[in-house]
Copies of this chain bind each other. A is one copy, B any other.
Amino acid sequence: MPLSDALLQDIQDARAHSMPTLRATAPALEALLYTPFPCLDHGFVRVVDYMGDDDAVVQSARVSYGRGTKASRTDRGLIRYLMRHRHTTPFEMCELKLHVKLPIFVARQWIRHRTANVNEISARYSVLDREFYLPRPEDIATQSKDNKQGRGEALSPEQTEDVLAALREDAERAFSRYEGLLEEQSLARELARIGLPLSAYTQWYWKVDLHNLLHFLSLRLDPHAQLEIRVYAEAIAQAVKAWVPLSWEAFEDYRLGGVALSAQGLDVVRRLLRGEAVGQEQSGLAPREWRELMDLLERDETNP
């Protein structure tokens, strides 16, 4: 990820000027501020501003729940209580602003999270840089057989080479055409860009509160999320962990590592714990849900 000289200069300038503030401050995030986390071949995500910290979550919760809360719970205990019981509004009191460079097909998944603020570079105003995403060889795979939306086995090295060459050649050609249409035909930018591939990089500022950011991460850190957006989610997760370590810990325990049981699933667990022999047919669960439950409970599904 070679950064442009202009961006490097901006980062250096921004990190050179410290100011005193009376606001809540997160030193571990200050240490990361403005610095890009590289993502994919040309992308990055960097924190450009934040508001609040773990204390701000606690403080807002204590407004709601009143005086008694202070005595009876530590901050960590309160944050865990809020996360466990999905009392989400105190987590909305923190805010993060990111600068992201990402392929357009990733941007299209990302933008579906509506509760956020966005300013994206406009290809009607600006000429896009000649930058497009190519997967690493190890990330190229066949369509999964079980998972309608995922990747399956690796291709052979030769096939991988062919796929990469094809993607590269086409993207290069599309960018050359784009530049030619702009320069030789003076074609309007808003038209010239329609032939660019979905792998072209775009950039945006994206601002979101902590509750909605954690929701974004719970979906985009999931193994079913497309690899290319997961890479960004993992980078953001590092920043969040530095920023609000208690909230992050609670999020890991109750969301990322937690699971949901259906009414029928809970009933199966209770019966198994009582020592009953329960199979799929007695469970009230469809075969697929039964397998998912047995996996979850780490039981041999054929001989539970």
For residue A280, CB closer than 8 A to chain B, the reply is: no
* B contact residues around A298 at 8 Å (CB): 270, 273
Q: Enumerate chain B residues within 8 angstroms of A14, measured Cβ to Cβ.
A: 22
Q: Is A77 in contact with B257, judged by CB distance below 8 angstroms?
A: no
Does A238 touch B at the CB level, under 8 Å?
A: no
- A151 in the interface (beta carbon within 8 A): yes
Main secondary structure of the interface of A (DSSP, over half): mixed
Q: How many chain A residues touch B (Cβ–Cβ < 8 Å)?
A: 129
A52, A119, A252: which has the most chain B beta carbons within 10 Å?
Answer: A119
Decide if A213 is an interface residue (CB 8 Å cutoff): no
Q: What CA separation (Å) do A119 and B60 show in the bound complex?
A: 6
Q: Is there an interface contact between B174 and A194, defined as CB atoms closer than 8 Å?
A: no
Query: Assuming the A-B contacts A253-B262, A253-B264, A262-B257, are A63 and B204 also in contact, with contact meaning beta carbons closer than 8 angstroms in the complex?
Result: yes
**A159 in contact (CB, < 8 A):** yes
Q: Which of B18, B108, B155, B207 contacts A185 (CB 8 A)?
A: B155
Binding site for B on A (CB under 8 A): 14-15, 17-25, 27, 30, 33-34, 49-52, 56, 59-61, 63-69, 77, 80, 84, 89-90, 92-93, 95, 97, 99, 103-105, 107-108, 111-112, 114-115, 117-122, 124-127, 133, 135, 140-144, 148-152, 155, 159, 162-163, 166-167, 170-171, 173-174, 177, 180-182, 185-191, 193-199, 203-205, 207, 209, 226, 252-254, 256-266, 269-270, 272-273, 286, 289, 296-299
